[in-house]
Each structure stands twice: as structure tokens, then as C-alpha cells.
């Protein structure tokens, strides 16, 4: 088994789509009507699969984002990503280094969901493994 994607409820689809597109996601497709609302499938450029689904139903706006602590997006160059986001009008917090060679920055999407940008040290696998906790 493997995790496929996260469905994230959004209040204003176009505003959220603009935000996540600026973050680097690309729209792969849409499912217009489901019991949840419309579904917009997004993927990052180097991912072969959808990793984020924007779920939108105008009758059910986001009222509480506390059930989702945060999303994490990996970047190869945190400084360049922050500069690119700033050029698109998205403000990220200044980078911090929570561990040796690991750099992170935080931003918030239009509904208030927190997103952590992570730059791994050179040679680190593209994700967390048991070695990160050894």
C-alpha cells in the first residue's frame, strides 16, 4: 500500500488554485460533481502522480483548519523557492535550520492551512526514512 494524495477542502477554488499553482503544483484534471463537491487534482512537476486534491463545494466553506496540522513540500533550493513565491505575492517565513543541513520555511494558504517547505541536505533521500530517527 502507499499513500496516494490528500483531499483538502477549500473555500474559493480559483483563489486556492492560484496559490497552489504559484507554489509549483500543476492541475492534472477535474472531477466536476461528487458527493464531496468538485475535485481538482494537482501534482508537483517531478512527481509522477497526483499528490493534492482541492475539494470545493460553495455550500461548505472551510470553517476550521485545525484538523490538518500542516502539509510538507520538498524543494531543492529553499531560497530560490521563497524568492519565486515572493515575486508571485506569496510571503514565506524566513528559513530556519531545525537539524543539521535541513532547512525549512513556513507559509499559509488562502484558507489558513500551514505549509512547510523543506530542503534536505545533499545526499538525503527524497523523503523521510527510518534513518532520520536513528
pLDDT, tens digit (0-9, with 9 covering 90-100), for 77-109 = 999 999 999 999 999 999 999 988 899 999 999
- Edge-to-edge strand list for the sheet holding 26-31: 6-10, 52-56, 38-43, 26-31
CA-nearest of 67, 65, 131, 59 to 99 is 131
Longest dimension (CA), the chain: 47
Distances (CA, A) of 117 to 3, 93, 133: 20, 10, 20
pLDDT at 133: 84
- pTM equals 0.92
Task: Give the model confidence (pLDDT) of 7-57 as tens digits.
Answer: 999 999 999 999 999 999 999 999 998 999 999 999 999 899 999 999 999
Under DSSP, the state recorded for 132 is G
pLDDT at 26: 97
Helix (H) or strand (E) holding 80: helix 78-87
Amino acid at each position: 500500500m502507499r499513500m496516494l494524495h490528500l483531499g483538502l477542502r477549500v473555500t474559493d477554488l480559483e483563489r486556492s488554485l492560484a496559490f497552489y499553482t504559484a507554489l509549483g503544483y500543476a492541475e492534472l484534471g477535474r472531477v466536476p460533481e461528487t458527493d464531496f463537491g468538485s475535485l481538482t487534482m494537482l501534482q508537483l512537476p517531478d512527481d509522477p502522480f497526483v499528490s493534492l486534491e482541492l475539494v470545493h463545494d460553495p455550500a461548505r466553506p472551510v470553517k476550521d483548519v485545525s484538523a490538518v496540522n500542516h502539509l510538507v513540500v520538498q524543494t531543492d533550493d529553499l531560497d530560490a523557492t521563497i524568492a519565486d513565491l515572493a515575486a508571485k505575492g506569496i510571503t514565506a517565513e524566513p528559513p530556519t535550520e531545525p537539524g543539521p543541513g535541513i532547512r525549512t520555511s513556513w507559509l499559509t494558504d488562502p484558507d489558513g492551512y500551514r505549509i512547510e517547505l523543506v530542503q534536505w541536505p545533499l545526499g538525503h533521500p527524497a523523503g523521510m526514512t527510518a534513518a532520520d530517527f536513528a
